[in-house]
Amino acid sequence: MSIPTENVGSLPRPMKLQAAIADYDAGKITKADLKIEQDAACKDSIERMEATGSPINSDGEQRASSFATYPLADTLAGTGLADNLAGDGQYFAIFTDGHHRQLPRLTGGPFKYKTYAADYLKEAMQMAHKPLKQAVIAPSMLYLLYPLDGEIEGYTREQFTEDLVNECEKDIRKCFETGAQRVSIDFTEGRLACRNDPNNPWTGRGMLEEFINLNNRVIDRFTAEERKNIGIHTCPGGDCDSTHSADVDYAEMLPSMFKMNAGYFLIQLASEPDKERIYKLLGEHSRADANGVPQVCFVGVINPLNPTVETPEQVRDDLLLASKYIPVERLGSTDDCGFSPFSIDVKPKHGSPDFARDVAFQKIESRVKGTQMASEELGLN
Ligand SMILES: [Zn+2]
């Protein structure tokens, strides 16, 4: 069996789609008009990803406002916000280039998703010729919708947390029911939780363990057989070609992360300054038995924030080095992050989102080829 390889989820939205989203926010076009552009972008994303030779693909999240807000609003500007939410929530992240991304704020209960990831997947299934994966958001991210201090009148934190866990479980189950081969949970807030940024209060509250326990409340509702195909994605953020927590030492976060009883992990690594040290940490802390499932480490071999395309040989060499520390039967390859987790992203280091799409497919092709080369070198084929 060769080394498995899988993308995280998103691709840059074409310029035409980003313009349509702006027109929709401005009331110039209808939701049906917007859907025409989303359909075209999804079809193009799936067909081009399939053409790279990748064994599993996604729709590039072309319909999602972002990886975190898709259940709550039609667009990042807040058009079509779900019930019991207001636009002015806390900053989820402040990026190193100075820009920030904000979450909505919960104003009352009950908490309910407006859109499930499977709603997008259902449409993607019609366009795909190979297996699809689907990314979903972690409960730990949406936990930040509840005010950091105090309680919402008539809706306790406990009531909210129970509703949140139920909605996240439903989000994952619906993906599998709709035909997803794998479901990965985006957990970018894990590393950020160790940041302690005075400008972003929640990052200084030591919430990592709380996040892990909350996510396990969802993950533990699945059988070991199901959890083989439930993953966790960790990264230091990836928006507008910038990060939010790359300066946090992985050693602070990884031991906690592997306490989650997921079957696989998609781990940013290509952009780490000392990859070998991290491979070693993965080998030490990932578990051969997480309540009945082995934890497979998909190491990042592609940096989506850098327009330079990695060669298949670089990918192969990264995996060969990683295989010295991680058992080969628990080794996989991935991209460091989605290529554009937020719908509105000009990809400044690339020059344009359309060019960044071309680059993304070349990078995915390199990952697929390099992973194949490493598998052959390791005698796995
Ligand atoms: Zn990411």
Domain count, the chain: 1
Distance 270 CA to ligand 1 centre (A): 12
Distance 247 CA to ligand 1 centre (A): 15
- Per-run averaged pLDDT (10 residues), the chain, 381 residues: 96 98 98 98 98 98 98 96 95 95 96 98 98 98 96 97 98 98 98 94 96 98 98 97 96 98 98 98 98 98 98 98 98 98 97 98 98 97 76
Q: What's the domain range around 310?
A: 5-377
Distance 237 CA to ligand 1 centre (A): 5
Residue 70 has which token pair? 């898709």
pLDDT in the model for residue 381: 76
* Beta pairing, strands 105-106 & 91-94: unpaired
Distance 108 CA to ligand 1 centre (A): 30
- Collapsed DSSP state (helix, strand, coil) of residue 33: helix
pLDDT in the model for residue 1: 78
Distance 340 CA to ligand 1 centre (A): 9
How far apart are alpha carbons 239 and 186 in whole angstroms? 14
How far apart are alpha carbons 365 and 51 in whole angstroms? 8
Distance 81 CA to ligand 1 centre (A): 24
* Cα pseudo-dihedral 187, 188, 194, 200, rounded to 10: -120
Residue 120 has which token pair? 């997008």
**Residue 233 backbone phi and psi in degrees, to 5:** -105, 130
Distance 127 CA to ligand 1 centre (A): 25
pTM above 0.85, yes or no: yes
* Beta pairing, strands 331-335 & 296-302: parallel
Distance 45 CA to ligand 1 centre (A): 18
Distance 234 CA to ligand 1 centre (A): 6
Distance 336 CA to ligand 1 centre (A): 7
Distance 236 CA to ligand 1 centre (A): 7
Distance 333 CA to ligand 1 centre (A): 14
Q: How far is CA 150 from CA 146, 155, 156, 181, 198, in A?
A: 9, 11, 9, 41, 20
**CATH number of the domain within which 358 lies:** 3.20.20.210
How far apart are alpha carbons 34 and 21 in whole angstroms? 7
Residue of 261, 264, 160, 254 whose CA lies nearest to 218: 261
How far apart are alpha carbons 266 and 235 in whole angstroms? 9
